[in-house]
Structure 1
Amino acid sequence: MIPSFLGFGLLGAACLAFTEKVSPVPPSHVLLLFLGMTAAPDVTTLVPLMFATTFGSTLGSMIWYTGGNWLGPDRADAAVRRFGKYIFLKHATYQRLTVAYRRNNFRASLIAQLVPVARTYLALEAGVLRLPFVPFAIATMTGAFIWNAAFLIGGYMMRDSDHDPVTIGFRIIAIVVVAEIVFLVALRHSARGEDKDRPSGETHP
């Protein structure tokens, strides 16, 4: 399926990024590493690929935002509780995303794009809370660009290396682990910064 999409060039890459964002399959980091290795023969192609996939990812988030806006708080919570397990979204995870949004909408929208699971489903909660569309879209696009560019560049740097499947598999796993550690450390640092800025008498919602 992926080679068929890539036959359409940047439009196909954008469609793949969109598909990744509206469903848990394929995993975004694997898809983006693969695109960096196969769809970017040089830097002049890599840069447009970053923007095309960012557009597709952002559009996918807007689908979730629209769905959350239509469902509203009660129906969205009930839907996640009933069907979340089928799309790898636990109800407890959904509740944590809700708390994160109540602290800092823009920062949460941006950082969520750098955290697996959250980057896909936080847009649903944004729609449920009916957050202002433009700030949400800007934060989502910025975060998606950072995430996509990191993995596309990683794949691009591996394009001329040993193409043995086992070697490539280990390299992909290593890049994913390192990237997720960095992103989660950034998320934790951001949360600590919010706690320090919070008045001493204020409690979390």
Structure 2
Amino acid sequence: MTQWILDTIAAGGYWGIFFLMTVENIFPPIPSELIMGMGGINVASGQMSFIPLLVAGSLGSTLGNYIWYMAGRKMGYERLRPFIDRWGRWLTLDWHDVEDMIAFFQRHGHWIVFVLRFSPLLRTMISLPAGLARMNRVRFLVYTLAGTTIWNILLIGAGIFLGTRFQEEVDKFVGPLAILTIVAVVGAYAWRVIRWRPRT
């Protein structure tokens, strides 16, 4: 997967970043940290510019989240239940979890969409309950874009830091770091599946 990400960035440039960030927010195991971090390394080496990279990454991320939002909005609250009953084991969710998620969302307000953009595990998941709760579309997009932009600035900055200081050594670390990130995400998911028990 690491090589595919690197090849996509090399071949597609900013459009490659846009595509990868869209896909990353639909299939979370693809790490945005690697995508935008590599973009930052490319900025440090002069192959990319900061602002176009930030725009491409943030718009791609917002689009990916919007797809989840629309899925929740179109599906509707009650129509989700058969899906959860069937696939809840692999989603590590039961219907009580969905009800709690919606209630939490309604209690704490729409600001949670902005705040959770900084959470690696929850930044995509929150888009579904936002759609289920029929959050205002424009407000969802604005909060998502704002949180995503700040997060991407941090990731690009980290990439620039690495690229500037360890330019000759960076290739040695990119592969292992990407593998470590993916293994950690997959391992956390597997542990959650093994430990998960539906509430009665």
Matched, 1:98 2:102: yes
Tell me how far 1:125 sits from its aligned partner: 0.8
Tell me how far 1:95 sits from its aligned partner: 5.1
Moved more, 146-155 or 163-172: 163-172
Matched, 1:143 2:159: no
Aligned equivalent of 1:3, options 6, 15, 25:
6
- Could you report, residue by residue, the CA deviation over 1:23-79 in whole angstroms, capped at 9, with x for unpaired residues? 123122232222222365349702221111000000011100111011111222442
Runs of 4+ in structure 1 deviating by more than 4 angstroms, as ranges, are 92-96, 166-174
Matched, 1:54 2:54: no
Matched, 1:79 2:83: yes
| Structure 1 contact 30–172 (Cα < 8 Å) conserved | no
Tell me how far 1:15 sits from its aligned partner: 0.5
| Alpha-carbon separation, structure 2, partners of 1:38 and 1:94 | 41
| Alpha-carbon separation, structure 2, partners of 1:65 and 1:167 | 32
| Alpha-carbon separation, structure 2, partners of 1:101 and 1:51 | 28
Aligned equivalent of 2:29, options 10, 22, 25:
25
Aligned equivalent of 1:66, options 54, 67, 70:
70
TM-score between both structures, scaled by the size of structure 1: 0.71
| Alpha-carbon separation, structure 2, partners of 1:31 and 1:96 | 33
Identical counterparts, % of pairs:
26
Moved more, 60-69 or 39-48: 39-48
SS at structure 1 position matched to 2:49: helix
Check 1:55–1:169 CA distance in 2 against 1; reply closer, same or farther (3 A cut). Answer: same
| Alpha-carbon separation, structure 1, partners of 2:157 and 2:38 | 10
| Structure 1 contact 80–90 (Cα < 8 Å) conserved | no
RMSD: 2.9
What is the count of residue pairs matched by the alignment? 172
Extract unaligned runs of 5+ from structure 1.
175-205
The amino acid of 2:172's aligned partner reads P
Check 1:152–1:172 CA distance in 2 against 1; reply closer, same or farther (3 A cut). Answer: farther
Extract unaligned runs of 5+ from structure 2.
182-200
SS at structure 2 position matched to 1:26: coil
TM-score between both structures, scaled by the size of structure 2: 0.73
| Alpha-carbon separation, structure 2, partners of 1:35 and 1:85 | 36
- Could you report, residue by residue, the CA deviation over 1:107-141 in whole angstroms, capped at 9, with x for unpaired residues? 11101111122111111111111111011110011
